[in-house]
Structure 1
């Protein structure tokens, strides 16, 4: 990428005349994007950021370089610098950032990735001017730096004592990175940032070659797997079109009683659409959650062979990309038989160009997961899909999250000790539960994300962000009972997405298509881009 060169002398301007970059006169030139920046010390940085789509004028051809910058404006410019998109979050984070405001999506996008924070749990103060020390914190955090604690005595500024303790590490880091400097021996931490100062700071990020290259690169693609559930074919197609999903899992094959027979629900219209739109198809193989039926197929060599031959023939004849094995409630006694089945199925599908993925629950050391030999399955299958949900499930007498951050992180890390990250897919939930707290134990109602939003907006909104759990906890009263919802939304999903990306997983799966709100797809696109930096 060629940027406008910095004009520092007449000689430099002369030399630039022969270059491919644009040349701007040293004073009021009509070729400048704004009529009031020719005398600004950050003129060239402003021009550069206009080309990048990071800064805009204030109207009437003006930039107003010495005008102060609000917290919302600084957030929006930082998001645009990082090539992030606005996130129209279904769950508003702050009461003073209304969904109708121009900056709503920018604040939500920055908050989801931990780039910005509120002034309190419920307020952001978007219209407040951003101070120099606040700007230092935000830009350093945006560059994924978490500096160690610093005392005032470690800062070489005459006014170091006036820098807030929480900002000192970031001020030092900003100076070390060459992003923010003081003047006349002072940092002026409480002074408001101006538009020209902001442009200078943001453009300096692009002068760091590693960040410039990362920002202007396309993130590597990963598997994005969407399960079909409860939708018509046309509804499912519409949801996939509006998503990031590149691999679909339609519910097409199920074990049936008999001599190794399979039910076949292949839909030609969905298959043709997927091929025309370059979507991979991993048809689901289910067992109706029937342990006896599953045992019968897995332990009878003739029936097992019949199922594998049928699946192989279907993959070949329909041009499928693979099979997703979704066996639930498998008896512990079938542990070796399940591994053998997956091994033989994978070997057979390889002959026709198909892959095998198998869905597994987190290893909790219970009968529910005893049938999964994680290490052996990781060697046998092409992909292991970790179902990162049902931490608390329907029928659980104890209320809690369906997918808290520490629970998912622990489950993924445990799996990765047995399965390579290149074979691991993390499945995320598009649902939660509304818990009714009673003396004899809690009961719950499953909600998809859209229903969750309606529920939280229909009653007095009382929620707090639990940073340890990585989600909002929402409480309300109804018919004499306390209700609690551990909210799954674009913010909680982003946090888990980035955590898994940092571990190099092969991709993500989503249970289930149609249960989400539209903002989660934008949020995950941002997460994928930001995780690549």
Structure 2
């Protein structure tokens, strides 16, 4: 298992404390209620959608519709990531994006991610919260947000990724593959410029949380 730098440091710190260290074994959780009429157990993203909805990480487009196949936007991705990582969304310096007002539902999340250099704006001074995300774009956001160990390789098994000129983009995609967060659309293609759906975004988030939180260490009195 790969740990983030943050978790590795935390683990090391716990070892020097004069306490008994124990692994936490969570009690079996009760089945979550499905609030969405358009999400069924046949949906490949079902478990991620229901679990992260219950935890307040993701939300539907309405209280009863999730729209799993709808394209995910930059604003939604920022909000869901900030929710997943528990970032404070009530403070921070205004980045003054032309198209992001302080009363936007994404404002606090965008500020939190912007201050941590996870996301940025465009050269024209906009953030474009309603712009549709590509699969390659979410790879960078998740890698930076979850502080994943960036892959060193720039040549992958995916021909369409190898064709990308930017080496960092290749590394971010390979990073998600290494952590088991994503896989190709076929055995030899990743489709880096394909639209990311809300269902895919939720599954990626769920896997990222799992990949960086395989165990928890607590001090026991």
Q: Same fold (TM over 0.5)?
A: yes
Are residues 1:58 and 2:61 paired? Answer: yes
Are residues 1:95 and 2:103 paired? Answer: no
Are residues 1:195 and 2:203 paired? Answer: no
* Alignment partners' CA distance in 1, 2:164 and 2:35: 36
Equivalent residues in 2 for 1:345-364, closer than 5 Å? none
Does the C-alpha gap of structure 1 residues 201 and 58 become closer, same or farther in structure 2, counting only changes over 3 Å? same
Partner of residue 128, structure 2: 125
Q: Structure 2-normalised TM-score?
A: 0.77
C-alpha distance after superposition, 1:331-365 (max 9, x if no partner): xxxxxxxxxxxxxxxxxxxxxxxxxxxxxxxxxxx
Q: Is this contact kept in 2: 1:162–1:189, CA < 8 A?
A: no
* Alignment partners' CA distance in 1, 2:81 and 2:101: 20
- Gap regions ≥5 residues in structure 1: 4-18, 25-30, 218-533
Partner of residue 173, structure 2: 171
* Alignment partners' CA distance in 2, 1:209 and 1:108: 23
* Alignment partners' CA distance in 1, 2:212 and 2:147: 16
* Alignment partners' CA distance in 1, 2:111 and 2:213: 26
* Alignment partners' CA distance in 2, 1:123 and 1:93: 8
The CA deviation at 1:100 is: 2.4
Q: SS at 1:85's partner residue?
A: coil
The CA deviation at 1:99 is: 1.6
CA RMSD of aligned residues (A): 2.6
Q: Is this contact kept in 2: 1:205–1:211, CA < 8 A?
A: no
Partner of residue 158, structure 2: 157
* Alignment partners' CA distance in 1, 2:215 and 2:96: 30
* Alignment partners' CA distance in 2, 1:209 and 1:109: 20
Q: Is this contact kept in 1: 2:92–2:111, CA < 8 A?
A: yes
Are residues 1:22 and 2:30 paired? Answer: yes
Are residues 1:43 and 2:46 paired? Answer: yes
Q: With a CA cutoff of 8 Å and minimum separation of 6, indicate the structure with the bigger relative contact order.
A: 2
Are residues 1:81 and 2:84 paired? Answer: yes
Partner of residue 244, structure 1: none
Q: Is this contact kept in 1: 2:180–2:211, CA < 8 A?
A: no
- Gap regions ≥5 residues in structure 2: 1-23
Are residues 1:34 and 2:11 paired? Answer: no
The CA deviation at 1:96 is: 1.9
Rg larger in structure: 1
- How many aligned residue pairs are there? 192
